Amino acid sequence: MKRKPINIDVSLLLILFCLFIISLLAVYSGSGQYETQDPFYFAKRQVFWYLVGFGVMAGTAYIDYELLERLALRLFAGAVFLLILVHFFGTYKNGSQRWISFGVIEIQPSEFMKIILILLLASILNQFQHKRFSFTESIIPTGKIMVYTVIPFFFILVQPDLGSALVILSIAFTLMLVSGISGRMIMSLSLGFMGLVAFLTYLHNHYFEIFSKIIKPHQLDRIYGWLSPHEHASTYGYQLTQALLGIGSGQMSGSGFTHGTQVQGGKIPEAHTDFIFAVIGEEFGFLGAVTLVCLYFLMIYRIIRIAISSNSLFGLYICAGVAGLIVFQVFQNIGMTIGLMPITGLALPFISYGGSALLTNMIALGLVFSVNIRSKHYMFGNDWG
């Protein structure tokens, strides 16, 4: 008796492998500015995290994603509890309190909250099936989404971790876009968010004492460094200024692997983590940067294809949430490196050195593979369409 072939998206696996190779090259080169006895220290640790990540991804893909729908609320409650623990007992470093230490390892609960929120919001929206809501009917599902989004958003924002907090919002916004919620409702929320930004700008210009109680000083410094990097090149605009110099000097084909003047000279802080795109831009040039961006486009395309071929709305929502998670992180990280976005502590997915962020993205892809493996293809389309 022949076993049925497992439905695995080989293209998505190949894209992930290419990102793995790029990550190792960039982490090795970007960490060359740090004086360690072992020049391969960070690269070897990245290999370790990738191996763990592949194992976690395979384990997640093995689990039937539909079983997670019933556990979503419990997982969410557990993740919120960990965020509360971080607030009281978390490890404080680099101006933030984001980690819980377990001796040898540290975990960042805000990273795993991103995955759990995708599952929870997908389960909430799945309850309404294909229903297209009017503006009035959209109030209830929108209210539920906002309540479950605001809770982690608040706890993550006070750590402070603006980057991850914005990711939480991007996940909710993406899932609302692909759901049956009224376009007028989504537009109203968007206008409300822009109104909030305008109000904060007004407070900054006219009531700075009140504004300073809302926005932390280091966050404001980052905004100044983003808007006027050259005026603050020696202080909070230093990272962006040096990154721009590095990327600009890369030109078309780059200065060559491990030959970047800015990177190897130690002028770009956190070159193997948050500013790893500057390594790729300087040492591999425009061609290397475009290759990386194209790989991300292909990854999102494959995730969308899997979402479309899914046999359940819950699976579609999961894939949409994962796509939103990856797209925003890529846009924010690359954007902050080239001056389009303010600097936050978001890693470049599958490229930056680090454990928690990489494992989060691998779990996310594991969910996508779980949806893909359990999708059946019918001659006349999906059974939910």
Between CA 86 and CA 316, with CA 320 as vertex, the angle to 5 degrees is 120
pTM, 2 dp: 0.91
Q: What is the DSSP letter of 6?
A: P
Q: Is residue 315 part of a domain?
A: yes
Longest dimension (CA), the chain: 77
d(CA 271, CA 2): 50
Closest among 280, 276, 274, 275 to 250, alpha carbons compared: 280
> Domain residues for 60?
10-181+216-374
**Whole-angstrom distance, CA of residue 370 vs CA of residue 61:** 4
Helix, strand, coil percentages for the chain (3-state, nearest 5) = 70, 5, 30
Q: pLDDT 10s per residue in the chain (385 long)?
A: 445 556 788 999 999 999 999 999 999 998 877 766 678 889 999 999 999 999 999 999 999 999 999 999 999 999 999 999 888 887 777 667 788 877 667 788 888 999 999 999 999 999 887 678 888 888 999 999 999 999 999 999 888 788 899 999 999 999 999 988 888 999 999 999 899 989 988 888 888 888 887 777 777 887 888 888 888 777 878 888 999 999 999 899 889 998 888 888 888 888 888 899 999 999 999 999 999 999 999 999 999 999 999 888 999 999 999 999 999 999 999 999 998 988 888 899 999 998 888 999 999 999 999 999 988 765 455 555 4
- Helix (H) and strand (E) counts in the chain: 14, 3
3-state secondary structure at position 49: helix
Q: How far apart are CA 271 and CA 239, in angstroms?
A: 10
Instruction: Please tell me whether the peptide bond between 160 and the residue prior to it is cis, using omega within 30 degrees of 0.
Output: yes
- The structure tokens listed for 172 are 């909710």
Is residue 242 domain-resident? Answer: yes
Q: How far is CA 350 from CA 191, 201, 325, 357, in A?
A: 33, 35, 12, 8
Closest CA to 95 of 210, 276, 277, 236: 236
Query: DSSP readout, 302-344?
Result: HHHHHHHH-SSHHHHHHHHHHHHHHHHHHHHHHHHHHTSS---
* Residue 274 located in a structural domain: yes
pLDDT value of position 3: 54
* Total tally of structural domains belonging to the chain: 1
Residue 193 lies in a domain: no
- Token couple for 175: 């899932």
Closest CA to 317 of 121, 168, 41: 121
In a domain, 291, yes or no: yes
Whether 200 is in a domain gets the answer no
Q: Is residue 206 part of a domain?
A: no
Give a yes or no: residue 208 inside a domain.
no
pLDDT score, position 379: 47
Secondary structure string (H, E, C) spanning 189-240:
HHHHHHHHHHHHHHHHHHCHHHHHHHCCHHHHHHHHHHHCCCCCCCCCCHHH
